[in-house]
Amino acid sequence: MAEIVLDQVSKQFPDGTRVLHETGFTIHDGELFILVGPSGCGKSTLLNMIVGLEDVSSGEIRVDGRVVNELDPKDRNMAMVFQSYAIYPHMSVRDNIAFPLKLAGLPKDQIRQKVEQAAELLELGELLERKPAALSGGQRQRVAMGRALVRDPAAFLLDEPLSNLDARLRVQMRGEIGRLQKRLGTTMIYVTHDQTEAMTLGDRVAVLNRGKVQQIGSPRQLYQNPANLFVAGFIGSPGMNFVPAEIGPDNLILPFGSVKLPEGFGECTPQKLIAGFRPEAIGLDSSTDNGQSLAFSVTVDIVEWLGAELFVYSDLDLPKPSTGYANDLFDNGRITLVSRLGPEAPVRQGEQLRLRLNVRDIHLFDYETERRLAFGGDDWLD
């Protein structure tokens, strides 16, 4: 059990690469904390620093109030699953999983029992006597998990532990990890690329980009009240739609029309704005205009039918006299909009389609600072 505090932690590699910039946040005792971010943003580096494999360039890492910057990895008592698995090739699966227990000096029969428990949980029962070379990628990954899960550490650090598993095992293991964490109540930091894992598993999620924490919050907060453009675009799949926007005297001007300014948008004065809305904010135009929504036509480009839902990608031309900044951001004036429709929606490629966007679903972002300025709806509060 441990509360882990990162206090203005920076990391600079000897070759000058700055990977983390004054990162500060707290992982509460017993929490399942998710870390997401694009490849190369410093997630593994952060884990390595917490566990003591990389030293901290500046700032402090505290575990339960104690500064651990200089503490040896073995004295931090944390269990980690490496992104690269790092299982011991000259030991059998059983010996791999038993290794930390052996070092801890547990009696033989207890080791045996714990290893078999872990193996059962991870469906490794029949493979216990095999060497890693004779295992598949997913099986190796589960051995790596087993080696972490047999321990009783102060915290679990998992670096993309399920990335190599098939869909069934991934869903199952995700569930097992969640349950195990709840049962043990041990602090867990979980790094993932997977949207579903990030949204379903964690109590809180931190979004990291270019070595900076963009936002920390519950999955719902991140989804509904993203702090900036990056989080808005990163969380959710497919991502949020972005279009250039302007505030008129009493209306909001989007490339495909304008609509009465909802309350709350009045204070947004910067000239350069970006409007963002989720795919599900756009529906087929069937209702009548209530002054709170905006109807427009698009040409359907791609239709993705996923069984339970339908994603429609449609092209939109920016009007010619559009603002300069929009052209930088939106690739020569063309925007692709994604909308999430019901699976029975009668949509075919190449067709013209009437869509309707609800103003209450629009987020406004400052183009310069990329921060979110306003939201047509109500923010989610936990």
Ligand X SMILES: Nc1ncnc2c1ncn2[C@@H]1O[C@H](COP(=O)(O)OP(=O)(O)OP(=O)(O)O)[C@@H](O)[C@H]1O
Binding site for Mg ion (CB under 5 A): 44, 83
Q: How far is CA 380 from CA 24, 218, 222, in A?
A: 24, 10, 9
Interaction between residue 85 and another protein (CB under 8 A) = yes
* Residue from 363, 356, 357 nearest 378 by CA: 363
Interaction between residue 40 and another protein (CB under 8 A) = no
Residue 45 contacts which entry, another protein, ligand X, Mg ion, none (Cβ below 5-8 A, type-dependent)? ligand X
Q: Which of 89, 175, 248, 270 binds another protein (CB under 8 A)?
A: 89
Nearer to ligand X, 13 or 305 (CB): 13
* Residue from 299, 294, 331 nearest 312 by CA: 299
Measured from the Cβ of residue 167, the count of other Cβ atoms closer than 10 Å reads: 7
Nearer to ligand X, 44 or 241 (CB): 44
Q: Which of 9, 41, 98, 364 binds ligand X (CB under 6 A)?
A: 41
Q: Exposed, middle or buried: residue 265 (CB in 10 Å: 0-12, 13-18, 19+)? A: buried
Per the listing, tokens 């310069």 go with 368
Helical H runs in the chain? Answer: 43-51, 73-76, 93-103, 108-121, 137-149, 167-184, 195-201, 219-224, 229-234, 324-329
Return the DSSP state at 64: T
**Amino acid at position 206, single letter:** A
* Residue from 287, 318, 315 nearest 301 by CA: 315
Q: The tokens of 210 are what?
A: 């270019």
Residue 305 contacts which entry, ligand X, another protein, Mg ion, none (Cβ below 5-8 A, type-dependent)? none
Q: Which of 12, 62, 99, 116 binds another protein (CB under 8 A)?
A: 99
Nearer to Mg ion, 83 or 322 (CB): 83
Residue 155 Cβ, how far from ligand X at the closest point, in Å? 18
Nearer to ligand X, 15 or 126 (CB): 15
What whole-number distance in Å separates Cα of residue 183 and Cα of residue 283? 42
Q: How far is CA 79 from CA 51, 145, 356, in A?
A: 8, 9, 50
Residue 74 Cβ, how far from another protein at the closest point, in Å? 5
Nearer to another protein, 89 or 248 (CB): 89
- The DSSP H or E segment spanning 127 is none
Positions in 135-154 near another protein (CB under 8 A): 135, 137, 140, 147, 151
Measured from the Cβ of residue 248, the count of other Cβ atoms closer than 10 Å reads: 11
Query: What mask of x and - would describe binding to another protein in positions 42 to 81, judged by CB under 8 A?
Result: ---------xxx------------------xxx--xxxx-
Residue 113 Cβ, how far from ligand X at the closest point, in Å? 34
Query: What mask of x and - would describe binding to another protein in positions 4 to 33, judged by CB under 8 A?
Result: ----------x-------------------
Helix (H, G, I), strand (E, B) or coil at 319: coil
What whole-number distance in Å separates Cα of residue 58 and Cα of residue 39? 23
Positions in 69-88 near ligand X (CB under 6 A): 83
Total site size for another protein, rule CB under 8 A = 34
Nearer to ligand X, 230 or 265 (CB): 230
Residues of this chain that interact with ligand X (CB under 6 A) are: 13, 15, 17, 19, 37, 39-45, 83
Query: Rule CB under 8 A: which residues touch another protein?
Result: 14, 51-53, 72-74, 77-80, 82-90, 99-100, 103-104, 131-135, 137, 140, 147, 151, 164
